[in-house]
Every structure is written in C-alpha cells, then in structure tokens.
Amino acid sequence: MRVAIIGATSALAHETAKFFARDGADFFLVGRSTEKLAVVAADLKVRGAKAIETYTLDVNQLEYHDEMLQQAISTLGGLDVLLIAHGTLGDQRAAELSVAETLQELNTNAISVISLLTLSANYFEQQKRGCIAVISSVAGDRGRKTNYVYGTAKAAVSTFLQGVRNRLAKSGVAVVTIKPGTVSTPMTAHMKQGLLFAQPEAVGKGIYEAIKKRKDIAYVPGYWQVIMLVIKSIPEGIFKRLSL
C-alpha cells in the first residue's frame, strides 16, 4: 500500500502511520521540519515500513502543493491513501483581537486543506480508486465561544469533504472525514485534561480503521458522536448562555 501523509510529524498522524507500517506500507511523509520527519521515518522503518520518502513543506505555501503531490505520485508510483493531518490550535482570544491572527488560523486549518483536496480529488477521480482521509474535528459541528475560529475552519473542511465525497462516490474513491474530540497531544498540552481526553494511540488506531473500512465520517473515539449530537440539539437561546 502506498500512503502519503501531510502533517506527518503530528502526534495523530504518526500514531496512524504506525499501523500502516505494520502492514508494510510505502510512505511519502510531508512536514515542516526536516529533523522531525527523519525521526518519524526512522520509527516507521523499524515498525515494518518498506520504503519511506520525506518532503519538507510549509502547507501555507499553496503554490508548492501541486509540485509536492506530483512528487508523491512519482516517488511511490501512485497513491492508495492520502491522509491530510496538519493543523494548528490557535489562541482564540488572540484571534478575536486580530484579523491577521484569525486569517492565519483559517489559512492553515481550512484554505491549505481545501487546496490539497482540490488537487488530490482530481488525481483520485481519474485513478478511480483509493482513499482520501482528512482529520477535521468535532469543533466544526457547532460554533462555541471558546474556539469558534478553529471550529469555523474545521466546519469548512468538513463541508468541503462532504461535497468531494458526493462527487467522487461514483468513481470508487473513498473520502473519509475524521472527527476527533480532545486528544492528549503536544497541541493540547496547555489545556486542562479531563475524562474526555483520549490517548493518541487509541485515536490513531481509530483513524487507521476508519480508512481501512472506508467510512464516510468517523468520530474518534466514537462517544463523541453522541456528545456532539446532544450539543447540536441544544436550542440557540439556551446554548448562548452556556460556557462550552
């Protein structure tokens, strides 16, 4: 299996990749840090990966997306799975005070993903097989005052994925929307961690299984589907008085 991962040095991407490595997959790993990519690549090699190529890229450099994707296809001889896993969890208050901060978060978490999806959808549609998977978030299911900039980006990604999934359904291409809840990773290290925080190993397994099963939407862990169903059902008049 030929797997390309964008944002490969993130905790969730790395944990997911470990399962593909055990299957003997070939990898094309993309990330901002050459050093961190080397660490992930070495780990996956030990775990059973056959071949690994790395590519250093800041995903906000949209003009290099096509070049990167073509390099992945050329290096691996095609793609079976594309996992888009990059993202940032910005400072909500800073975004409220700064248009530039807000746009930076939207560019990283939404625009760059949409760019990559536009390019990869065309490739997979022509190939008529394979799987595109993207890590979105439960935060996109409803706007909340504590993270609505991040949530807006994820909502845009989830809606875009829904449209791409509908478009590619007849082409035999799976489009998987991954919606994790709160996960104990370096990105959330500053947050107070409670009972709902999942471990990255468990979430990585859930992402791997969702891709293998070609699910449309996967809440990871699964209990977040119930939680978000409840949150979405709260009337707006009540919801705006809550501190969620």
Confidence of residue 151 (pLDDT cuts 50, 70, 90): very high
Percentage of the residues of the chain whose pLDDT score is greater than 70: 96
Percentage of the residues of the chain whose pLDDT score is greater than 90: 90
**Within a domain: residue 42?**
yes
pLDDT in tens, 204-217: 999 999 999 999 99
The mean per-residue pLDDT over the stretch 3-22 comes to 97
**Within a domain: residue 122?**
yes
* pLDDT score for 182: 84
**Within a domain: residue 244?**
no
Q: Tell me what the pLDDT averaged over the chain comes to.
A: 95
* pLDDT score for 185: 72
- Cα–Cα distance for residue pair 126/154, rounded to 1 Å: 27
Q: List strands edge to edge, sheet with 26-31.
A: 52-56, 26-31, 2-6, 81-84, 131-135, 174-180, 217-220
Q: Do residues 220 and 203 make contact, with C-beta atoms less than 8 angstroms apart?
A: yes
CA separation, residue 107 to residues 18, 100, 138, 182 (Å): 29, 10, 19, 22
Angle between helices 65-76 and 112-127 (to 10 degrees): 40
And the tokens for 224?
A: 């977040």
pLDDT in tens, 105-116: 999 999 999 999
Confidence of residue 65 (pLDDT cuts 50, 70, 90): very high
pLDDT in tens, 68-120: 999 999 999 999 999 999 999 999 999 999 999 999 999 999 999 999 999 99
* pLDDT score for 71: 98
Angle between helices 11-22 and 34-46 (to 10 degrees): 30
The mean per-residue pLDDT over the stretch 4-25 comes to 97
**Within a domain: residue 202?**
yes
Q: Do residues 165 and 175 make contact, with C-beta atoms less than 8 angstroms apart?
A: yes
Q: What CATH number is attached to the domain comprising 47? A: 3.40.50.720
**Within a domain: residue 148?**
yes
Q: Do residues 84 and 134 make contact, with C-beta atoms less than 8 angstroms apart?
A: yes
pLDDT in tens, 164-223: 999 999 999 999 999 999 887 776 766 666 667 889 899 999 999 999 999 999 999 999
Judged against a pLDDT cut of 80, whether residue 14 lies above it is answered with yes
* pLDDT score for 183: 83
Query: Is the alpha carbon torsion for 232, 89, 201, 121 positive or negative?
Result: positive
Expressed as residue numbers, the domain containing 142 is: 2-239
**Within a domain: residue 203?**
yes
**Within a domain: residue 152?**
yes
Confidence of residue 244 (pLDDT cuts 50, 70, 90): confident
Confidence of residue 130 (pLDDT cuts 50, 70, 90): very high
Q: How many domains does the chain have?
A: 1
**Within a domain: residue 115?**
yes
